[in-house]
Structure 1
Amino acid sequence: MNTATVGALLTSIASQNILGENVLWHHEDQAIYWIDIEAALLQRYSLTDAAYSVFALPQRIGSFAFLQPGPQQDFQLIVAFAEGFALYNPQTKALKWLSQPEVQLAGHRFNDGRVNRQGEFWAGTMVENAAISDTQAALYRLDATGQAQPVLGSLCISNGLCWSLDGRTLYHADSPKHQIKQYPYDAATGTVGDAVLFADTPHNAHPDGSTIDAAGYLWNAHWGAGKVVRYRPDGSIDLELTLPVSQPSSVAIGGPNLDLLFITSSRLGLSEAQLAQQPLAGNLFIYQLHGVQGVLENHCDLSPQWLL
């Protein structure tokens, strides 16, 4: 019998993001990190002292992850900026470009990204302006040499990236198609097999950011429908959380006991009337979970020569 529930809303961080995304829990820091894509910001909220910090970035950002700590390391983050993959340090502003596979494609930018169970950073692109683009988006895997290798093509908005607990199944969504798909993943070759439908989402729900919990269930933000949904491993719905905002964008599970649910949201495209009805739009939400635990996020493990 399932006893998993989402408890009370503990707090809402008044970030008022235009497009909040890519929330991550950093266990060593005991802090939540997330981004505002449109405002080109990295944000941090400490659970220890409730301090909220904001770091300006050199350009819009699609996604990021933490680098595996090491000696003599100039960078802290692996980032999919709008124009491509780079190493970055938000304190010193040190920047090192690695790969820009779609920089020549007008109307494209990088979007959702994540580190897999093997420590590789993956990120996908999106067609932001179809009027000036005649090429579709793609999902990329950053290899050990710092180069982006295409994995999936023919996409509109790459989203919902996460992996099963054993790392053998890739979950991915092309948001406008209202589907979350799963793919067998071969870690030895870095390739994915044929897609299998995992879940359909309602017509008003665009599948956005996802995460996997310790039971192997998938959590997904339903952009437009104002919900976060937990799916069983067979793709059936286990529970739904209705939010006070219509555009939740990404989810993560963390906290000292790995039992807190973090959800980013967006104000993008909402009218004045909608914003009046959703005054918390753009905030980060923290809910208490019961009967659910998260798993620690993997850090990106690049070859040492790429970190200097």
Structure 2
Amino acid sequence: MKKVPEHQRPKHVKQGVGELLFTIDSQCILAECALWHAPEQAIYWVDIVGAKIQSYQPSTKHLVTYEVPHRIGCFAFTEIPNQIIAAFDIGIARYQLDTGELEWLAQPEKHISHNRFNDGRADRQGRFWAGSMSELDDLQSDKVVKGALYCLSSSSSDTVSCQSKVQEVLISNGLCWSKDGKTMYHADSPERRIYAYDFEPQNALLSNKRIFAETTGHCFPDGSIVDADDYVWNAQWGASRVVRYTPSGKLDLCLSLPVSQGSSVAIGGPNMDWLIVTTAKHSLAPERLLEEPQAGNIFVYQLHSIRGIKEPICLL
């Protein structure tokens, strides 16, 4: 683990990341959306390209794979066992893991052939958010239709509405909220920026957009999570690392990964002190895959004096 020099770190911070506890040999093409499911004491994630959801119980070492009917970017647990809210490539739906039953809730970009849903999660009020992205290789092409960040919420009549909250997004990533739910973080990966917004929890209103953190070179902000200290963890695609930012956006810790494409992070485990990192082998050249045989696996590290926050349940 690489740490920021002591003189650049806040004096009160004494935490860190320890040893690699275990690796899950999932060999996903594009693993994303790491989630800790406390009732099952299990780690969940998706393989976007492989169109599957996987779960792993560390106590039993039992790996379960759920094949899904479409590529899946992200999901959230609900109060109903085996039911999730999932952002598939062409829309957002209620989905039953055990039966495969699917009910579409919103498909705002189904008509855009080169766009799909990517990163998302439930907010602390139980709404579901998911962002879209362009899949074109040349993001400067005239054919690119920029995506957006959408919020799904339900009314007293149980109808579900879908609203576009952030527009003109190339690749939506890094969505998470502060502990009090009053700050939202969101990244547009090709811009190499994580933005922060003031968030009004009752009505999901966004304001005061500002740059929270920036990266350079072949280092793109991907999935994020907020810990119990209100610090932001971010997997940085292409840079072989996960970083931790202070609430003011200063770099605090840097964890080196054995693969180049870290894609998402979660904090879980029996004591909520495991750092869970998904990775990908998507787009790696054959010679690079020989150098990164663990690309696509899930890595779990021990945290020291750092705890996570329980993942919100989607109430749709």
What TM bracket, shorter-length normalisation? over 0.9
Partner of 2:7: none
Q: Do 1:262 and 1:285's aligned partners in 2 also have CA atoms closer than 8 Å?
A: yes
Q: Does 1:64 align with 2:64?
A: no
Structure 1 residue identity aligned to 2:30: L
Partner of 1:249: 263
After TM superposition, list the pairs within 5 Å mapping 1:173-252 onto structure 2. Answer: 173-252=187-266
Q: Do 1:105 and 1:133's aligned partners in 2 also have CA atoms closer than 8 Å?
A: no
Deviation of 1:48 (Å): 2.0
Q: Does 1:32 align with 2:43?
A: yes
State the identity as a percent.
47
Structure 2 residue identity aligned to 1:269: S
Partner of 2:95: 88
2:167 and 2:50 map into 1 onto residues whose CA distance is 28
Deviation of 1:188 (Å): 2.5
After TM superposition, list the pairs within 5 Å mapping 1:137-152 onto structure 2. Answer: 137-144=147-154, 145-152=159-166
State the Cα deviation string for residues 19-71 of structure 1 (Å, max 9, x = none): 000010000100000000001010000022110111100010111010123xx
State the Cα deviation string for residues 73-112 of structure 1 (Å, max 9, x = none): 7x61000000011000111111111110000011000000
State the Cα deviation string for residues 178-230 of structure 1 (Å, max 9, x = none): 01110001122222013111011122110000000000000000000010000
Please state whether the residue corresponding to 1:195 is helix, strand or coil: strand
Please state whether the residue corresponding to 1:147 is helix, strand or coil: strand
Deviation of 1:132 (Å): 8.0
Partner of 2:182: 168
Q: Do 1:106 and 1:133's aligned partners in 2 also have CA atoms closer than 8 Å?
A: no
Structure 1 residue identity aligned to 2:150: Y
Partner of 2:5: none
1:132 and 1:91 map into 2 onto residues whose CA distance is 42
Structure 1 residue identity aligned to 2:250: S
Partner of 2:122: 115
Please state whether the residue corresponding to 2:208 is helix, strand or coil: coil
> What runs of 5+ residues in structure 2 fail to find an aligned partner?
1-11
Please state whether the residue corresponding to 1:194 is helix, strand or coil: strand
Q: Does 1:18 align with 2:29?
A: yes
Count of residues in correspondence between the two structures: 298
Partner of 2:146: 136
Deviation of 1:134 (Å): 4.2
TM-score (norm 1): 0.95
Please state whether the residue corresponding to 2:18 is helix, strand or coil: strand
Closer/same/farther in 2, CA of residues 3 and 168 from structure 1, 3 Å limit: same
Q: Do 1:107 and 1:132's aligned partners in 2 also have CA atoms closer than 8 Å?
A: no
Deviation of 1:133 (Å): 3.8
Q: Do 2:134 and 2:144's aligned partners in 1 also have CA atoms closer than 8 Å?
A: no
> What runs of 5+ residues in structure 1 fail to find an aligned partner?
303-308
Q: Do 2:120 and 2:130's aligned partners in 1 also have CA atoms closer than 8 Å?
A: yes
Please state whether the residue corresponding to 2:275 is helix, strand or coil: strand
State the Cα deviation string for residues 252-308 of structure 1 (Å, max 9, x = none): 000010000100000011111111111100000000010100010000012xxxxxx
Partner of 1:159: 173
TM-score (norm 2): 0.92
Structure 1 residue identity aligned to 2:20: L
